[in-house]
Structure 1
Amino acid sequence: MEKTLHINSLEEYTKQFFDVLISYSPKLISAFIILFVGIYVIRFINRLVKKLMVQRELDPTLSKFLADILNWVLRILLFVTFISKLGIETSSFVAILGAAGLAVGLSLQGSLSNFAGGMLIILFKPFRVGDTIEAQGVIGTVTEIQIFVTKLTSANNQTIFIPNGILSNGIITNFSVAGMRRVDLVFSLSYETNIKEAKEVVLEVMRSHSKVLKNPEPIVVVKDLSDSAIHLAIRPWSKNEDFGEVSSDILENCKAAFDKKGIIIQPFVRENSK
């Protein structure tokens, strides 16, 4: 008797299962069709958008960022459409998603600040990849602008990561925008020096250097007359990529020219404190 009842119950459950499956199969099939077609459409749209941005010569960092954002937005919309087609109530799901987003946002305030900073840098472009900048007390060449950090390479080949939040809110000196830089050097000379002769020597050194620009003209002026020395300010201009070489060469060549002319470089004198 119990065995017969058990078999009848099993047959009834099986029949109910197949009835539900048959009645639900149209929704299930249509939902998966939407899912697979949606995945294909998202890939097509993503490729199309990337192609359009390349044709319009948008910044590569901005292009990648916008393409990623669009890709995730379309995926979320597809997922919501998929579960809605399955008959799952989406309003509660959206509420849960919103609450989770708020909790994640509160716990990642620093990261969101860096994200917003990355957005500002990408949109307003205070610098680009390849520019040499000074920010947050470091100088380096920008090698990559990521969403959360900016990657620099220093002159001694150190890799520096600066969070975009503090970078976008701080002072940035971009040495590459104008394409050229002024070298600022100072020589301290003895008071026995003929200033006019010293200036002519320095001008000749700067004009004879192949990488010192003719326009703007290099100049040399008396910067200060201290208690112990005459301070000459030497200001040649060079291309960004020649800045280090010009700085070093002008110092070396001026020293050699001063020695040849008998011009004395005044050593640093520390005043005695009483």
Structure 2
Amino acid sequence: MTDQIAEETATTTQKVVEVINPANLLKNEIDQMAHIYQIVIDFFTNYSFQIVGAIIIFIIGYILAGKVAAMLLRVCERHNLDVTLSRFIANSSRMILVLMIAIIALGKLGISVTPFIAAIGAVSLGAGLALQGLLSNYAAGFNIIITRPFVVGDTIVVKNVTGVVKEVLLAHTIIYDEDNVRITIPNKHIVGEILQNSLHDSLLELNVGIAYSEDPIEVIALLDKVIATTGVVSKTREPQIGIDEFADSAINISIRLWTPTVNLYTAKFTAYKAIYLALDEANIQIPFPQRDVHMIQTETKA
């Protein structure tokens, strides 16, 4: 019995030594690498033509999609279509063509796209629930591109923010104010809100008061000539000048003019300077607020 136990112990010890022998470990790793290498060689041997064909199809299709998108963009520009809508059509067509070419290339490799489509659908459902805000921006951006309430170059006012539209994307709209500050507005804050679009110009309202001793009709004619020579008035709209109010100390003259948005404050300062110089040269008085105070004395009875 003792001899049998000793024999089993020796056999086990020999096996353990063989397992932990570095030569055996190296041999096992070499065998595994050789097996992997053989699998790779067999794969490329059997599918090399399919892989090359799929790559060629995808490259040719990608180049073709870019050329089709560029051609559509030129056609839209030739027909004076809005630049935002033109870019959207071109980019969408290229995306659809690349997706179709990718499906064809996968089919060339013998890969079925049905499971991928099902997986994409499931992922899209979960992503849609998690990213409702982002998706609402994309939906609003698509609505803006289709309905075109404004285009690049228009001046819009939304959410108390004013600026010139520089770019309309699916997720957001980029505008710049007169100080060249880039303002990014999520599209969901544009669709469904009160939107003011004054095209390329903005309304500039000015006021000046004259004394009651002056003739307001003559002053209005004078200001009409002065404003026309400042060079700040838009060429598409005529300015409006008239009596705005008969105030306590002055007759207030109101001036409403349209000027390019990018020079709004410059136009305001230029117009006020020209108005002051013209009134001063014509000796037209600009009054300051005045009050007449009458003191009433009453006799007191003894």
TM range, normalised to the smaller chain?
0.7 to 0.9
Using structure 2 for the length normalisation, give the TM-score: 0.67
Out of 38, 41, 44, the residue aligned to residue 58 of structure 2 is 38
> Could you list the per-position Cα deviations for residues 13-52 of structure 1 after superposition, in whole angstroms to 9, with x for gaps in the alignment?
x8xx88xx59x936x7336524431331232133123123
Matched-pair contact (CA < 8 Å) for 1:32–1:82:
no
Residue by residue, what CA displacement relative to the aligned partner does 1:223-264 show, whole Å, maximum 9, x if unpaired?
122344322112345566665544323312222233344433
Q: 2:98 and 2:119 mapped to 1: Cα distance?
A: 18
Aligned CA distance change for structure 1 residues 69 and 238 (closer, same or farther; 3 Å): closer
CA drift at 1:74: 3.4
Amino acid at match of 2:274: N
Aligned to 2:165: 142
Q: Distance in 1 between matches of 2:85 and 2:71?
A: 13
1:37 and 1:216, CA in 2 relative to 1: closer, same or farther beyond 3 A?
Answer: closer
Distance 1:187 1:148, change over 3 A: same
Partner of 2:198: 175
2:150 counterpart SS class: coil
Q: Tell me if 1:98 matches 2:121.
A: yes
Q: Secondary structure at the match of 1:249?
A: helix
Separation in 1 of the partners of 2:109 and 2:270?
A: 75
Q: Is the 8 A contact 2:154 2:197 kept in 1?
A: yes
Report if aligned partners of 2:142, 2:170 keep a CA contact under 8 Å in 1.
yes
CA deviation string 1:168-217 (max 9, x = no partner):
3323333335xx66542112334444333433432342344455578865
The count of corresponding residues between Structure 1 and Structure 2 is 253
**Per-residue deviation, 1:87:** 4.6
Distance 1:169 1:53 in 2: 30
> Cα deviation per residue 1:43-82 (whole Å; 9 max; x = unaligned)?
2133123123213314444344334333333343344444
RMSD: 3.8
Give unmatched runs, 5+ long, in structure 2: 1-30, 291-302
Aligned 8 A contact 2:230 2:274 in 1: no
Paired residue for 1:249? 270
Q: 1:89/1:250 Cα in 2 relative to 1: closer, same or farther (>3 Å)? A: closer
Structure-2 separation of matches of 1:240 and 1:90: 52
CA distance in 2 between counterparts of 1:46 and 1:172 reads: 36
Determine if the alignment matches structure 1 residue 264 to structure 2 residue 295.
no
Cα distance in 2 for partners of 1:223, 1:125 equals 36
143-152 or 76-85: bigger deviation: 76-85
Pairwise CA distance, 1:161: 0.8
Give the distance between the partners of 1:263 and 1:124, measured in 2 at CA. Answer: 51
Tell me if the contact between 1:176 and 1:240 (Cα under 8 Å) persists in the aligned partners: no
Q: Given that residues 50 and 63 in structure 1 are in contact (C-alpha distance below 8 angstroms), is that contact kept between their aligned partners in structure 2? A: no
- How far 1:100 moved relative to its partner? 0.5
Gaps of 5+ in 1: 1-9, 270-274
What residue is the counterpart of 1:54 in the other structure? 74
Could you say which residue in structure 2 is the equivalent of 1:4? none
Aligned amino acid, residue 215 of structure 2: N
Whole-Å Cα distance in 2 between the matches of residues 123 and 89 of structure 1?
A: 35
Measured in 1, the distance between the counterparts of 2:202 and 2:229 equals 18
Identity, in percent, stands at 28
Report if aligned partners of 1:184, 1:235 keep a CA contact under 8 Å in 2.
yes
Change (3 A) 1:80 1:44: closer
Given the superposition, is the C-alpha separation of residues 175 and 244 from structure 1 closer, same or farther in structure 2, using an over 3 Å criterion?
farther
Show the counterpart of 2:294: none
Query: Higher mean Cα deviation, 259-268 or 150-159?
Result: 259-268
Going from structure 1 to structure 2, the CA distance change for 1:37 and 1:138 (only over 3 Å counts) comes to same
1:1-274 correspondence runs (5 A): 25=46, 29-30=49-50, 32-57=52-77, 58-176=81-199, 183-210=204-231, 212=233, 218-236=239-257, 244-267=265-288
